[in-house]
Structures are given as C-alpha cells and as structure tokens.
Structure 1
C-alpha cells in the first residue's frame, strides 16, 4: 500500500483542535505506536498505550485532547477529539484511491434477465447473475459472481463483494455493504415431526436489509417463514453471523463475529452482542442492551443492561459467581475439615 501525505493534507483531513510540533517530510505509512518509523502516521486510540507515545518514532501522532505530552524533535502531534475516528478519515481517503469507483456498465459475461432493471450508473461485474424482475439501484457496484434472485431489489450506492447472494424477493436498502460469501435469504430452519420424519416447513417470507447496513463475510440471514426477517438501519454484522428466520434486529446494533440468533427473536435498537454469543428463539433483547462474548441467552434481556455468561446473567452477578466458583475447591476442603472435627468431637463425647 503506497501512500504519501504532507502534514498540511493530514491537517485538512482530520481538523485537529491543536497542532503541536512540526514535521516537514511526507507520511508514507500507517503503523502502531511501537512499530512506527520515521515517516509513519500513528495514533493513541486506547489509553493503555499512552506510555508508548513518548517513545514512538512516528513522525505524526493523532492524540486525544487530554494527552499532555510534547512531541519529540521533527515530530508532530495532532490533537483531536477521537484519534480512531480521525485515523478513519485518513483511511477513507486511502480506500478511495485503492478502490476507485468503477466505470458503470454490465460485464459481457454477466447473465441478466431481460426484464431485470439495472441503473445506467450501476456496475455489474463478471459472471454475475441477475434474475427476472430484479432491480439494481443507482451507482451500486456488484463485483464478480454476485447473484441477485428473482424480484430481489438492491438499493442505490450498494457494494456487493464477490460470491455474495441476494435470494428471491429479498431487499437491500441504500448504501448497504455485503462482503464475500454472504447469503441473504437462505431458507429458515423449519421442520415439523410428522409420521416419524422431519417434514420441511416452507419458508415463504423474505429478508429486508435497511439502509447503511454492513454485513461481514460468510454471514447467513434466513428468510422468514412468513412476513420478513429484518436488519435495521445502520446495523453492522461481523463475519460469520447467523440470523434465523423472522428475527428482527433493530437500528444501529453491533453483532460481533460468530453470533447466532435463533428464529423469531427481536433485538432492540443500539444493542451490542459479543462474539460467539448465542440467543435462543422467541426472545426480546431490549434497547441498548449489551451481551458479552460467548454468552448463552435463554430469556428476555431488559433494556440497557449488560449480561454475560452461560446462562447469561447480569454482569456484576455473573462476575461474583465466577469468583465464588473459583473458591469452591477451598470451600469443600474446609467443609470436609469441619466435618472431620465434628466426627472427632462426637467420638470424644461418647467416651
């Protein structure tokens, strides 16, 4: 990755509240504080690395407003409210240069149904399949081997990575990003036990992904048994997330890697779910709730609380129980010792 930024260009990008020190050269790479060399841009995004700022060789460092240290010789500190956000602004400029918007049009190898609607400003890449009645909106970019099923809709300014799949009747809002290998609209997992065998229940609903959602690689979002499975506006799904049929995920939620949500569960707005957490079906997770990594959620979660553990419990209670659980071996030893002393006292009293 080749980059080259002058200090004045970085200042224009991040709008610091203060510039401390000076650097006359160019920035050619981004690096962690301890890994940085002259010509690097770094940042203090986590207070645990605060001591590394003073020893870092980075030429420009993004620091928060409460950082009081001074830069070294030929080094500059750009004081910003949120260093990680400021770095993201720089990376957005780099991303734009690395992946410029492609020329609109449909690749000759793509298979597009005659009655599909493709915006003249959209890009459909090699070996894509766009089925009958499907729609691809303005400025959307479908990379190689994307499948858009019958009557599915892809909104404007969407980006679909290679081998992503949008099944029949499913709908993506504007500015949705879907990473490689993700399947939107696979059948919900529904069976009834009839005459000694598992009979498939038809899954005739759809999936609606609202605007500004980003879905990581190899996620699976099941279509509803009926009605809709919904991913709310602004929600972000990490890689390998599984969403069951008829699940409703609210707005601006975060679901980390390998989260599994069983069917007909509702997750409120602004909820955060840690990696590998599992949610049983037909539950309600309240607005703003937080669920720790690997938690097993088997009952409703109230709004705004933090739960952890298996089964999931309020965080402070779960931590207390964990501490007590570690003390159980000593406790059993004490109980055994006390039981032995009682036996000795009983024997003595019988004499």
Structure 2
C-alpha cells in the first residue's frame, strides 16, 4: 500500500496545504472514501456531501478551505489537473513478466531490445523492431517491419499491421487495430449496376510518443504516405480514424468518433462523442466540436461548433431552442395567414 504525506502531495501539485499534515493511503470517491483517503471537490455543489465524508483530506479549488474547518485541505488552481497528477502516484499496476516467453512465435530477423515483456501467444513477423521495456500481452500480433517504441504497452489481442511505427510511452488497449486498409473502392459499371474495385493501400501509420488508444479503436493505413497520430493525443474506445488522416498533438478524440480519409486535425483539437468528420475536412488549432456533430469543410482555429452540419456552437444552441418551438410557431403562423384572408 502506498502512503504519502499530504504536505508532499501539496508540493508535487503546487498546492497550498491548510490543516494537519498526515499520511494518506489512497484516493477515492466522496461516498466511498475511508478516513485516510483523499477526496476531491470541484464545485460548490459537492461541498455538503464532502463535509459528511469520512475522508479527512480534501483537494479543492482556491478559497474552498473555509467550508472544511475540521479537515486537511489542499487548495489548487485546477482541481482536475491536480487530481490527475495524484492519480498517477496511487495508480495500481501489476509488474510485467519481464522476458520473452517460449510460447511466443518470433520470426527470423526481428530485433528485440531487452528488457522487455513478450507474453505467450504473441506473434511477431520478420523485420519488426521491439524497443526496450515494451510490453506485449497475449494475443498481440506485430506485423513485418513494424516498430514498437520504448516503454510502450500493447494490451491483449491488438493487431499492429506491417510497417506501422509506434513511438515511446504509448498505450494501446485491447482489441485495437492499427494499419488495416482504408475503405477505398472504385465503382465500375457492370451489367445493370456496378462492381466495387478495391484500391490497394501502399502507405503506413505513424503513432508519435505518449499516445493512448482506447479499446477496439481502429486507425487505417494511408493509401500513400502516412496516417499520423500526433504526440500526446488521447483516443477513446471505439474510434475510427480513416486513411491518410493527420491528427496533431494533444488532441482528444472521444468514443464513437469517426474521421474520414485525408481529414486534417491541427493541434489541441477536441472532438466529443459520436462526432463525424467528412473526408478532406480541416479543423483548426484548439477547435472544439460538440457531441453528435457533423463536420464538413473547414473549422477555424479556436472555434467551438455544434450540429449537422457543424456551425458556431452559440448559434446552434439558439437554433435548437427555436427548433423545439417550431410546432407552436407554425400554429401561430397558420392563424396569422388565416386572419390575412
């Protein structure tokens, strides 16, 4: 069990400790926390619940300590960021089984830097490169000439196609597929209809450092060149990234998002759940797209958009209010027309 003094935590997250200093043994949700666990409060709505909690240590915004005179409080500017830092300290990890299992199948010509952890039933094709401290769990397939960077973890049953390059400190969750062909077909007239002719792909995928890819997400290889996922980008479960897409650094792609081929997302873009991006669309630096939106064309840097097709979010919210009132407006309009005759 990890233990750390609250004063040490305060230094790590650059917070201000108010109250008694003692060791805590973990972090938890407000109703579940024990006396020596830390809870966090990010708004006034949660103050009353936190006041009744068993936990004697609280992380909260600046100025909130006044609400907790009987507890030890760390005040910070950004509770969510501070909590993320603390969660890393208390994260629960199982030490990998370092070494190469005799039950892994490794073709000739594979370069492996040790230490590494290659579990049973991993298959690695010729020409692949596995850098030191990489962890490949059971059922992982690494294609020919693929490269897995230092300290990258690939969870069970992920498929890394040939020529894919994954950087260091990445996390690839279970069931991910990287490097499959994109969805490209030409339609040739045939008898009374047409037939679909496959367009073969010759490119690859490049995943830069510090990227995390959620379970069962898919990233397609480029037709020519590279599909790129930029440094620090975080991809949720069940996300589809099409061929030749360019995703910048520190993007957030939330579950069920689908990005069409050759779209470009600049740095710090955030796509909420179930967003659809049409092929060749361009989303500027720092733009945010609301859930269930459909993007076609260009979104300016820093813009916040919503709707299908996506428009400025503030306009869309007003339009949504009007849409709900359309039946009433229509009735009044019919009355107006009747009175005009």
Check whether TM > 0.5: yes
Per the alignment, residue 56 of structure 2 pairs with 59
Distance in 2, Cα, partners of 1:160 & 1:47: 40
Give yes or no for the alignment of 1:137 onto 2:134.
Answer: no
Distance in 2, Cα, partners of 1:276 & 1:88: 25
What per-residue deviation string (whole Å, max 9, x for no partner) do you get for residues 217-271 of structure 1?
1000011111111111111101111000111111111111110001011111111
Structure 1, gaps ≥5 residues long:
344-351
* Contact kept? 2:235, 2:253, Cα under 8 Å: yes
How many pairs does the alignment contain?
337
Which of 286, 289, 296 is residue 288 of structure 1 equivalent to?
A: 286
Per the alignment, residue 49 of structure 1 pairs with 46
Distance 1:186 1:326, change over 3 A: same
Instruction: Give the CA deviation at 1:56.
Output: 3.0
The within-5 A match list for 1:168-247 is: 168-194=162-188, 195=190, 196-247=194-245
Structure exhibiting the larger radius of gyration computed from Cα positions: 1
Per the alignment, residue 109 of structure 1 pairs with 103
* SS in structure 1 at match of 2:109: coil
* Contact kept? 1:267, 1:286, Cα under 8 Å: yes
Instruction: Give the CA deviation at 1:105.
Output: 1.6
Structure number with higher helix proportion:
1
Per the alignment, residue 309 of structure 1 pairs with 307
Instruction: Give the CA deviation at 1:32.
Output: 2.2
* Contact kept? 2:47, 2:67, Cα under 8 Å: no
Q: Deviation above 6 Å: which 4+ runs of structure 1?
A: none
TM-score (norm 1): 0.89
Instruction: Give the CA deviation at 1:187.
Output: 0.8
Per the alignment, residue 68 of structure 2 pairs with 71
Distance 1:331 1:125, change over 3 A: same
* SS in structure 2 at match of 1:337: helix
* Contact kept? 2:3, 2:26, Cα under 8 Å: no
Q: Which range moves more in the overlay, 40-49 or 254-263?
A: 40-49
Structure 2, gaps ≥5 residues long:
none
* Contact kept? 2:18, 2:65, Cα under 8 Å: no
TM-score (norm 2): 0.92
* Contact kept? 2:13, 2:85, Cα under 8 Å: no
Distance 1:340 1:69, change over 3 A: same
Distance 1:9 1:110, change over 3 A: farther
Per the alignment, residue 33 of structure 2 pairs with 36
Q: CA RMSD, aligned part only?
A: 2.0
* Contact kept? 1:138, 1:155, Cα under 8 Å: yes
